[in-house]
Amino acid sequence: MTRRTTTRQTLIDRVHVEFLVRAAAFTAVIVLCVQPAHADSRHERISIRRILVGGKPGFKLKMTLRRVSPDQKRVSLSLGKAPAGVLPQPGNYRDYATGKKQGYLRYKLGEVKQADMPVNTPTEVEFQAAYGDGNDLKPGDEVDVVSAWEGDYSPHVWGMTRFGVNSQDTRVVLPGPKANPSTESPK
């Protein structure tokens, strides 16, 4: 082998190594920079449909919970809507979302414990309720689906209209009873 061939091979090896180092660095930057779209515990993929509950008109609400923090021990899920003139403010919205202050929550759907929702794993839950059965809900009401993630610290609230804005787009319209032509009386 001549000296020229050895120098050429060394140069090719250096370029190859440099390329591999740059490719590895680029991959590392991409992996470190890519974050989930939301870094907060939240609910999403809300669907609601009308059903009969014990012969009464009502609704079934499904959603996916995403618990991000292991510090959160449970999540309370509710439907809420502030009456005119009562908008939760920065200092008190958590109290309204957890039900400590009256005037926002219209119906408590339920609570899910930490054992039932692993961290960073989507968990689907569903609730059903009849209109007027322990609530003042009516078909056509527009309400916020609210989750209050509680643990050792102050609750993290998702889905609540605060300061007149529902930034998480978790508002739903409660479905009405479907007319059944076979049971309607003739006009």
Q: 128: domain CATH number?
A: 2.60.40
How many structural domains compose the chain?
2
Closest CA to 96 of 83, 113, 111: 83
Give pLDDT tens digits for 33-89.
Answer: 544 444 688 888 899 999 999 999 999 999 999 998 888 899 999 998 877 666 666
Residue 157, in any domain of the structure: yes
At residue 7, the pLDDT reads: 72
Average pLDDT, the chain: 79
In this structure, the answer to whether residues 89 and 124 fall within a common structural domain is yes
In this structure, the answer to whether residues 52 and 72 fall within a common structural domain is yes
In one-letter notation, the amino acid at residue 93 is Y
In this structure, the answer to whether residues 97 and 65 fall within a common structural domain is yes
Give pLDDT tens digits for 152-166.
Answer: 888 888 888 765 555
Report H helices in the chain.
Answer: 3-33, 93-98
At residue 52, the pLDDT reads: 92
At residue 183, the pLDDT reads: 36
In this structure, the answer to whether residues 55 and 27 fall within a common structural domain is no
26: containing domain: 1-34
At residue 85, the pLDDT reads: 64
Distance between CA atoms of residues 115 and 44, nearest Å: 20
In this structure, the answer to whether residues 117 and 27 fall within a common structural domain is no
10 Å Cβ neighbour count for 155?
20
Is residue 179 over pLDDT 60? no
At residue 77, the pLDDT reads: 93
In this structure, the answer to whether residues 141 and 50 fall within a common structural domain is yes
In this structure, the answer to whether residues 140 and 102 fall within a common structural domain is yes
Distance between CA atoms of residues 66 and 148, nearest Å: 12
